[in-house]
Structures are given as structure tokens and as C-alpha cells.
Structure 1
């Protein structure tokens, strides 16, 4: 009795043995390390935005899927490298059981590694996110695609007698997915599990499920065709994949729509113009308001101003001015902080001065000097002195133009508060109506 109990304790299920020892855990660690390096190198462009983090994680499929296929291929060729293939054919277990005992642990470890990396990325974003919510819709389909790549790669590793099969498969997968990723035409590009998405794109509710069936179906069909005697059993997952693929192709661009939150604005109406930011970054409104506080304070009482600064793509409406864009992350905004509030304020002043399609009509030397004076008054910059010094060291034409600019700045600064408000009101009226000839002189 004691011997029987001891034997039961010593008997370890093959799946457990493969899962805790051998190559499978290393495959999962390789995915975590690879994603960690990729995400760390690009952290400035995603850390601080939930949508940006989700897009970065999904777009990394271009690397993860080929890596997963190579891992499965290497695991599949293990018995050939050990010269134990013939020995395994004498085992009592069915070929499918033996295949899954070797392939499933690697697939699960790769998916687990990807899930761990995604969790770490979400944790890294959480302290810096200023609105929105985590976007997780694409993650399950991405995990299925990576696990399916391991199974398909395992079949290739069993079938192709070469140590070069794994690296060649990874290279072919990377090139193939890359070509599909850069394709801009044809609905077939939507079959790509690494289809690049933007940070404002949201999939329809069934797209991740259809993509999971599309990627898992061919892998399951390949496994069944390789391991079972009745090859017709592979037709069922292949038919499911075909149906899912047809649905993805027929829907095409309709698979994606704009995030409704990206179209919403959150505004501070206590100042004029009002300051509005995208609802995705609603928590940044106090920071943006503080950056523009010097401008709004000086514009108090000025007439003919736009109703608001708005933060959305495209041309602003007639009564609006474009707020400097917070996206893409990594430029004006990094990890939830404005990188240069002074430059941000100067760009906001520029949007008050030039609106719509008036730029070409306003490239007049006199008007540009007036614009410079307004810019220097509303949002002075330390860089301006360096630019002035460069002109002072230039030829006579540059020095003469510099003297005119300095004189215009001095005249605007020397005005009384009431006189300056009236002048700025006339200036904003001329600028807003695109009539440079009516810009008041300085």
C-alpha cells in the first residue's frame, strides 16, 4: 500500500512536467523580456494614456507573433534534436495527446508572458493617466493569436527537419506581417493579427472574437491534420476560420470606429477664451489652464476673442482657436506632464493670431512685426533673446528689422491698460476676420 501511494506521488502529469521544466518557461520569459525592452524604449509615446498603451501593446504583435511561432517551432523540433522521435512513436498515448503535451505548455507560457508584460505596461500607465479608462478589448484576441502561433510553429518544427526552421519562420512571419501592416488598400489587411491601430480607434464589439477564431482556426486545423488519422476533422476549425475571415474582410474599415470620448471636450469656462481639452485627458485641464494663465490674465477685458480654445483634430470652428495638440504623446506631453509650458503658451497665442486659411494672406512685414509684439507681450520666451542676439549679429537688413520689432514691442508694453485692451480688441478683430490691412499699427 505504501509503495502504491509513493508511486502515485512520484507520477507527474506530462503537461505539468513540460510546464515547469524545459523550454516552455523560457519562451514565456523571452516574451516578457522582448516586450519589456520594446515598451521601455518607446515609453514616452504611450505611458500616460490608456488608449496609447493599448495601441502600443497591440502593435507589438508584429514582434510577438513571429517570436511565438519561432518558439513553437524550436519546441517542435526537440525530439529530432534529441533523436527520441522513434522512441515516442512506441508510447501508448495518441499522437494528438503527445503533441499537445509538448506544445500546450509553450503556448500557455507565451500567452502568460504577454499577459504579464501587458499588466506591467498598464501599471506603468496608471500613475500618469489623466482621464479615460484602460482599453482591454484587443488583448484577449492578441493572446489567442500568440498561442495559435506557437501551435502552428510546433507543427512546422515537427515537419521540417532543420535547425534553421525556427529563425527562418520568425523572419518570414515578421516580413509577412510587416507587409500586411503597411498595406493601405484591400480589405485583406484586416486579417492581419498585427493590424496597426491608432489611439483613437475602437473595434466593434465582435471584432476581437472574430479575430481570435480567424487566428486559432488554421492553427487547430494544422494540428489536427498532422496528428490525427482522420484528416477530415481539420475541416471544422478551418471552416470556422474561413467564416470569421470572410466576416472580417467583408466588414473592412467598418471594423473600427472613432472613440466617442476622443470627440468630447472638457472645458474651463472661468476664463476667456475658455480652455477645452479632450475628455481622454480631462485631468490635464488644470495643468493646461495654469500654463495659459499668463495669457488669459492679460486678455481679460479684451473683445473679439474666440469663444474657446479647443483640442481636437481638424480645423477649428469660426469662433474657436486650436489648442496646441497634446497628442501624439512624447512631444508636448510626456508621462502626464507638459514638457514645456512656456512653448505651449506661445503656440496657443499663435493659434489666436493665425486662424483658418488666412496664413498666406498675412505674410506681410508690418503685420509680422505686430504679431511679434503681441507674442512677446502675451507669452514671452527666453528663446526670444537668443533670436534677437542672432539678428543683432547679422547684416544691416537684419539689424534694421530687429530695431523695428523692438520698437513695436516697447510701444505695446508702454500703453495703459485700457489703451492696450482697445488696441488688442482691434487687433483680434482684424486677425479673426482675416483682414491684415486692418491690423492696427504699432
Structure 2
């Protein structure tokens, strides 16, 4: 009986349109931010949870439309005269919407998984639980839609319900420090190295399945039966209430942040698929900086950086937003700009130490002559580090260039702005 109902719902209901909209939404999400998931299993699973911000409202709207058809067609009384239990058509409607959503979601997700498998440098751990909870959230979303459609069958209710759910899922993203935001299946902030405890996934899966059962029983008007998942849901709420602010916070996977290196350039293992491209861009500039007195001798991915690690012999760089679908790094100029970071990341600008007898910094055209001011001196050293030295610096011998840049670097690290003012271009 259920199978026949489900086949009917799949053919004449909203599932085909749901599948189309879900596939379109997922493809759009994957194409817009490939850097979040390309070659990263953990990134792909977390990005599915990010995408629930769009997918769940779609399934809520579809479920509301699907469940409200009989009442809009004034068939509810006619259907109630049949010997079929009232929960069966509701279950068929909810299952049809869920299957339609999965039919649209799985193909683009499978293609993305294939692309990840071809280029991934780290298999990851526990990401499948993150993805499984995402699928369970879609079941809950369709159950919510069926309840809304059952209570309010008007056509305008479906899009309004989708919009309200979207806003309801979006707001907790900005309140992520509260443990109560873990009630939402949407992950607003996640990185490829993040991993959540299995017990948290189990709690969240249990919470979503309990809510789905409660919503379905309410839609079927089995009030006494709905008391069971209601009590269970209340019991599950005790967990975040007692756990505090750290409930559901991810930790870093040590395997993901382990280093993979080529010569002087190192990246986190999860980003090792970009290592050749990064070494090609940073290698020559790093060799040049390593010959400067006190200059960095290694370049290391920020992802592998421990808190309060301020080693001056390391050039830190970020690979955020650098992965591309077609391979390689998206912005080589961003990587090159990191070569000048030893001169610009010191937290002393502006500083009251510049007195009246030191010329204030002012933007100048280096090609027009010797620039005046501290910032121009630092900028000239930064240009040298990026392989674009000003003409005045390029005119010096290589040994003199390194000596001058080393002096600027030492003064910058010491926040000695008086010394920087005296280190005008040679």
C-alpha cells in the first residue's frame, strides 16, 4: 500500500520539481565556492552542511506544497472515508519529497566526490558522519514541510515557510558561540581540518530524527503518540544545556595539519595537492629572503601554525580561497605578497614614537626619486622581497641589497621607527 502511494506521489507530486531545484541549488553552491571543498573530503562534507542553508528551505517548501494539495482540492473528506490509515498518505508525501531532494542532491555531490578523490592528498577522518547528519536533516525538513502544509494548505504558505526556515537557519550562524545553535544542522563556519567528536554527531542525528518523528506524528494528528518523541526531544535538550559554550566545537585533525614539504616550502597535509604550485611561486623569493640577515628560511602554511607561534625564521602564508576546480592556485599574486609580510605584519603602525624631527611618511612615487618617510622605506624593502626592487635598491650590489634589507627588517621587528627613518633608500 505504501509503495503504491509512494510511486503515485513521485509521479504526480512535487518530487520531480524538487529534484530539479535541489540539483540546481547544489551545483550553484559547489561552483560558487570550489575552494571550500576541492580535493578535501572534510571540506566537502562540511560544505554540504553549509549548503543546508539553501536545501532545507527548499524541502520545507516542497513538503508544504505536497501535503496541502488534498485540502486545496477539497479531497480531504473523501480520502478520510477510505480504510487507509491517515498517516500513510502523509508518510508517502514526506518520503516522496525527501527522495526527490536526494535525487537532485546525490548526482552533483557524487561528481564533486569523484573530483575530490582524484586530487585529494589526505583521506580525512570522521567526515562521513558530518555528511550523514546532513542527509538526516533533509528528512526533518520534509517532515516540517508536511506539517505546515497539513495545517495551512494555502499556496502562498509554501514559499513563505521556505523563507522563514531560511532566516531561522541563517540567524544561528552569527550566534555560533552559543551551544543552542547546535540544534541547527547548518554549519556556518568550518575548515577542512575541522573534525567533530562522534558523540556530537550521534546527538545531533538523534535530535533531528526525534524532531522528524514528532513533526510527522503531529501532522498525522496522533497526539498521544507524539508525546513520546516530544519527551525524548526535551531529554536531548539537556545535553547542550549542561555542556556549555564548548558543546559541538570542532577540533583540528592532527593528520590534516601535518606538514608536507618541498625544499623550504611546507603546506598542511590537507593542502598538499597544492604543494608543487606553491613551491613554484614562493621558492625563488624564499631563497632570496633566506640570504638576508635575520630573514625567514622556511615558508609554512598558516593552517599548520600553532597558537602564539611567532618564529621570525618562518614565512607564514595562507591558502584560503586558493584551490581551483581546474587545478593550480587561484591567485599567485596573493602568495607573492606574502614574501613582503615580514616587513608589514609587525603591529607598530601607527606609533607615537615618530617625533617632529622625523619626516612623516607620505606616499611617493619611488621611480621619481628617493622617497621620504618610514612607510616608504618599509615599502621599498617589501618590494625587494617580492622580486620588484626599486631602481635605487637594484643599483646596489647584491651583498649591499641584502645588508640594507636586513637592517630594515631588524628595525621593523624592533618597531624602531627612528632607525627606519634613517634607513632611507640608499
TM value normalised by structure 1: 0.77
1:253 corresponds to 2:246: yes
Quick one: structure 1 residues 94 and 17, their matched pair in 2 at CA, closer, same or farther if it must change by over 3 Å?
same
- Answering whether residue 58 of structure 2 is matched by residue 67 of structure 1, we say yes
Q: Note if contact 2:411-2:417 (Cα within 8 Å) is conserved in structure 1.
A: yes
Greater CA deviation, 112-121 or 75-84?
112-121
User: What's the CA shift for 1:205?
Assistant: 1.0
C-alpha distance in 2, partners of 1:377/1:437? Answer: 21
Q: CA 1:432–1:72 in 2, change beyond 3 Å: closer, same or farther?
A: same
Q: Distance in 2 between matches of 1:186 and 1:378?
A: 44
CA distance in 2, matches of 1:418, 1:195: 52
C-alpha separation in 2, matches of 1:373 and 1:103 = 65
Q: Structure 1 residue 75: deviation in Å?
A: 0.9
Q: What is the TM-score when the length of structure 2 is the normalising length?
A: 0.80
Give the total of aligned pairs: 398
1:411 paired residue among 376, 395, 399: 395
**CA distance in structure 1 between the partners assigned to 2:379 and 2:219 by the alignment:** 74
- The answer to whether the Cα contact below 8 Å between 1:265 and 1:310 also exists between their aligned partners in 2 is no
1:98 aligns with 2:105: no
- Residue 350, structure 1, aligned to residue 340, structure 2: yes
Distance 1:183 1:94 in 2: 42
1:201 paired residue number: 194
Task: Point out where structure 2 has 5 or more consecutive residues left out of the alignment.
Answer: 355-359, 362-371
Query: What is the 5 A alignment of 1:48-127?
Result: 48-127=39-118
Q: Which residue number corresponds to residue 244 of structure 1?
A: 236
CA 1:148–1:12: 2 relative to 1, 3 Å: closer
Partner Cα separation in structure 1 for residue 207 and residue 184 of structure 2: 10
Cα distance, 1:259 vs structure 2: 1.9
Task: Pick which of 143-152 and 21-30 moved more.
Answer: 21-30
Aligned equivalents of 1:156 and 1:299: distance in 2?
Answer: 64
Structure 1 residue 74: Cα displacement: 0.9
Query: C-alpha distance in 1, partners of 2:136/2:260?
Result: 41
Q: Which deviates the most, 77-86 or 431-440?
A: 431-440
- Cα distance in 2 for residues equivalent to 1:342 and 1:160: 55
Structure 1: any 5+ residue segments left out of the alignment?
A: 1-10, 385-404
Which of 261, 271, 275 is 1:285 aligned to?
A: 275
Kept in 2, the 8 Å contact 1:70–1:167? The answer is yes
Deviation at residue 119 of structure 1 after TM alignment: 2.4
Q: Which moved more, 1:284-293 or 1:47-56?
A: 47-56
Cα deviation code 1:330-386 (max 9, x no counterpart):
xx44444223435522x23312334543454698646545544444444335xx9xx
Distance 2:234 2:103 in 1: 27
**RMSD of aligned alpha carbons:** 3.3
Query: In the alignment, what sits opposite 2:366?
Result: none
- From the superposition, tell whether residues 228 and 264 of structure 1 become closer, same or farther in structure 2 (CA, over 3 Å): closer
